[in-house]
Amino acid sequence: MDEYIVEGEGVPDNVLLSELSEDALFGNVTLRYEVDRIYTFTGEVCISMNPFRRIPGLEDTPEHMSKYVGRYPYENPPHPYSVGDTAYQNMLNTKKNQAILISGESGAGKTEAAKTVLRYISFATPTSKAKDMEKIKDQLLDSNPILEAFGNAKTIRNDNSSRFGKYMKISFNAANFPVGGSINVYLLEKSRVVTRAMDERSFHIFYNLLAGADDGLLSSLQLQRDPSAYKLLALSNCYTVNTINDKSDFAAVQAAMRTLEFPADVQQALWRYVSAVLHLGQVEFTASGDSAVVANENEVAIAAQLLNTDKAVLTKALLNRTVEAQGQSIVKPLDAATAVYARDSLCKTLYERCFLQVVRQINHTIENKTISGKEEVQIGLLDIYGFEVFEKNSFEQMMINYTNEKLQQVFIELTLKQEQEEYEREGIEWTPIQYFNNKVICDLIEAKPKGIIAFMDEACLMNKTEDVFLKSLGDNFRSHEHFEDFDKKKDKAIGKLDFRLKHYAGDVIYDMTGCLDKNTDQLFRDLTRALNASSDAPLKEMFPVSNETKKRPETAGAQFRRSVNELIDMLMACSPHYIRCIKPNANKRPDELDEELCRHQIRYLGLLENVRVRRAGFAYRNEYKRFQSRYKMIGAQSWPSFRGGDDKAATEYLVRDEMGITSDLYRLGEKKGFL
Ligand SMILES: Nc1ncnc2c1ncn2[C@@H]1O[C@H](COP(=O)(O)OP(=O)(O)O)[C@@H](O)[C@H]1O
Ligand SMILES: [Mg+2]
């Protein structure tokens, strides 16, 4: 404990701050950041400031990691290892699933923190002599480079930004050995394949493949090295990134695919699909009357060849749409603009399904195949995009920010509310803490039938335009506290197709231009059929044709709402642990602190609420039975067993007489003592 608090380095736990305020919290974490203490606890929540450089002594070495194994958090400098260790110990003690939630803005260090915790758990948990268990740990770690290649991209904020959410689970058997894992992914930002901001890149794998594939592979895919030759890559005018070596990353992906037992034909197929996306992106259309014709048939031919489909079938599907009307199928030619839309949706969908195929393949290898799932307990790691506020925010940002609102609900429900409920249950005197419950914003977005997503679905179903959609939002929510729409006189910042949501983290203006197309997210059935007709069996499975022709496919918004709610339900059934990541500056620079940016993050990560509850409450609690059996050795009257009454009396004796804690600093509840 002496080493734990070092003069001039702030306090390792914000709960120990003498004053409770944003200033004090900001002062403490930034003071620590300046002396390379990038981690600070707030009770059990670990705050991590991204240093944007390697800090000597903080490397994930066995010596470093071993210091935390089986230790209480206060015995060591704060570190995500402690969070991993607490989760593991908790799992052993309670046999309950544990979830480690890592949140923060893009570039704040979430993925790095997740990898650190995974490395730690993999280091600290026992391994039987059996080779296969050692292998599971390696495989879990090795899934990272593959997932990052397919799911990460360079953005303005982060050279290696995850463009999907990830929940990684490690399963433990009754003997507490890791026996398998699984990965769930959420909302890949597939629009990135066909559109993105200047100076950003598409998914790493495109550039990795072009730079790293050997000449034989490249020519079999009919690709050339130069990424600028491909329209889908050229559109944002950024090909290389200082911090990324595409060539060696490709080798790393191939190596990881070997570790993860991707069969050679599966690998080959993935490269074919990725290349087909690039070739499809080359396809251009010209107008012939009202109908589109393909301007460069050779690109369709190459794509068809890579996808094992017939060129004529693919061409027809790119240029026509079959509509069902009065029991009849009518084939209508597409105009050039719609053909572009169809082509782009094929590129996006093909890439997304390719990504999902990669995830399936990884899961196939790492899931536990030996033991029945019954006695398994899991530790999960959630690494998901934090709140996103850009200059222009659209459908994607709204979905991402909606997820963060929902995660804040988990935080409120599980941390703040449970804490308060426990005091009530235990009959402990308690002044309720005021905190903002953001459920009202979640409802505004997701409620059925009157929420933003529902109105968007309705507009899509009725083939309405975006201004009609925005009008319906305005009519319904104009008086809502967290919603503001276009009003020339009141607020110039909100344009005609915009609205502002007052998120718990701050205000964001969303531009809804194009949102209905994004929400419909339709791959025309003709294209699905064309790929389903492929002689490549896995590809055929990736594009199933449903028999029901009438049923409308689920919209992107509805799909997203469903998968977010599944995630939330699952998290609600776990014991949560938190790592909150802060980005000290927007320039990815070491030793630079942007005060406003930090304060903003401290505010919306709910850190202050967290300290408030922690400080108003009691940092330590334990059941009387456990408490007295853990500490009875320190009291003459309690060793070997207490003679003055029940477990509660024993606890009071130990706390008051043996530990000398004054009565204002502890409370005795129904079943537990609080310190
Ligand atoms: N603990 C850390 N130590 C050193 N550098 C870090 C650390 N965490 C993050 N970084 C740097 O910041 C970049 C962005 O971090 P990342 O985890 O990808 O952010 P996020 O997942 O939150 O978007 C990393 O590529 C790395 O360069
Ligand atoms: Mg990330």
For ligand 2, the distance from its centroid to the CA atom of residue 186, given in whole angstroms, is: 13
Give the integer Cα–Cα distance in Å for 611 and 614: 5
Q: What is the pLDDT of residue 374?
A: 62
Q: Is position 158 annotated as part of the catalytic site?
A: yes
469 touches 459 (CB < 8 A): yes
Query: Does residue 88 or residue 613 have the better pLDDT?
Result: 88
What mean pLDDT, rounded, does the chain reach?
Answer: 90
516 touches 460 (CB < 8 A): yes
Does residue 2 register a pLDDT over 60? no
Give the integer Cα–Cα distance in Å for 107 and 246: 20
pLDDT digit string (tens) for 404-424?
999 988 888 887 767 777 888
| Nearest ligand for residue 106 CA | 1
Does residue 62 register a pLDDT over 50? yes
Per-residue burial over 148-157, b = 16 or more CB atoms within 10 Å of its CB, e = otherwise? bbbbbbbbbb
**Cross-strand pairs, 184:** 167
Q: What is the pLDDT of residue 278?
A: 98
Which of these, 541, 543, 518, 521, lies nearest to 530 by C-alpha position?
A: 543
DSSP string across 532-594: HT-S-HHHHHHS---S-SSSPPPPHHHHHHHHHHHHHHHHHTSEEEEEEEE-S-TT--TT---
**Interval 255-269 mean pLDDT:** 95
Percentage of the chain modeled with pLDDT above 70: 94
Q: Is position 162 annotated as part of the catalytic site?
A: yes
- 560: Cα separation from own chain's centroid: 13
Amino acid at 386: G
Residue nearest to atom 17 of ligand 1 (CA): 109
From 189, 299, 352, 388, active-site residue: 388
**Interval 450-456 mean pLDDT:** 96
Q: What is the pLDDT of residue 627?
A: 81
**Interval 80-90 mean pLDDT:** 95
Which range is most confident: 198-202, 623-627, 654-658? Answer: 198-202
**Interval 647-671 mean pLDDT:** 88
Give the integer Cα–Cα distance in Å for 250 and 149: 8
508 touches 501 (CB < 8 A): yes
Query: Does residue 305 or residue 388 have the better pLDDT?
Result: 305
Give the integer Cα–Cα distance in Å for 551 and 538: 25
63 touches 123 (CB < 8 A): no
Residue 376: band (very low, low, confident or very high) from pLDDT cuts 50, 70, 90: confident
For ligand 2, the distance from its centroid to the CA atom of residue 639, given in whole angstroms, is: 52
From 28, 103, 152, 158, active-site residue: 158
pLDDT digit string (tens) for 471-519?
999 999 999 999 999 887 788 899 999 999 999 878 999 999 999 988 9
Q: What is the pLDDT of residue 74?
A: 76
Task: Specify the 3-state DSSP secondary structure of 637.
Answer: coil
Residue 459: band (very low, low, confident or very high) from pLDDT cuts 50, 70, 90: very high
Q: What is the pLDDT of residue 207?
A: 98
Does residue 592 register a pLDDT over 80? yes
pLDDT digit string (tens) for 296-312?
999 999 999 999 999 99
Q: What is the pLDDT of residue 399?
A: 93
Give the integer Cα–Cα distance in Å for 401 and 502: 11
pLDDT digit string (tens) for 156-203?
888 999 999 999 998 888 888 888 889 999 889 999 999 999 999 999
312 backbone dihedrals φ, ψ, rounded to 5° = -65, -40
| Nearest ligand for residue 160 CA | 1
**Strand order of the sheet with strand 165-172?**
39-42, 45-49, 575-582, 98-103, 377-383, 165-172, 178-186
Does residue 373 register a pLDDT over 60? no
| 152 CA closest ligand 1 atom index | 18
| 114 CA closest ligand 1 atom index | 17
**Interval 595-606 mean pLDDT:** 87
Q: Is position 107 annotated as part of the catalytic site?
A: yes
pLDDT digit string (tens) for 354-371?
999 999 999 999 887 665
**Interval 628-638 mean pLDDT:** 84
Q: Provide the annotated binding site for ATP.
A: 104-111
Instruction: List pocket residues of ligand 1, CB cut-off 6 Å.
Output: 50-54, 104, 106-112, 158, 160-162, 581
Structure tokens at 629: 């059996």
287 touches 276 (CB < 8 A): no
For ligand 2, the distance from its centroid to the CA atom of residue 111, given in whole angstroms, is: 4
Alpha-carbon torsion 389, 394, 397, 399, what sign? positive
Tell me the Ramachandran region of residue 10: left when phi exceeds 0, alpha when psi lies from -120 to 50, beta otherwise: left
Structure tokens at 359: 């995830």
Q: What is the pLDDT of residue 127?
A: 72
pLDDT digit string (tens) for 517-551?
889 888 888 999 999 999 999 999 999 987 656 66
Amino acid at 39: Y
Q: How distant, in Å, are the alpha carbons of 121, 328, 475, 483 from that of 450? A: 44, 35, 11, 14
For ligand 1, the distance from its centroid to the CA atom of residue 594, given in whole angstroms, is: 17
Domains defined along the chain, listed by start? 395-511 (1.20.58.530), 621-674 (3.30.70)
Alpha-carbon torsion 356, 358, 364, 368, what sign? negative
Residue whose CB lies within 8 A of the most ligand 1 atoms, among 36, 64, 112, for a mutation test? 112
175 backbone dihedrals φ, ψ, rounded to 5° = -90, 10
Structure tokens at 350: 């093909």
| Nearest ligand for residue 386 CA | 1
Say which DSSP state 34 is in. Answer: H
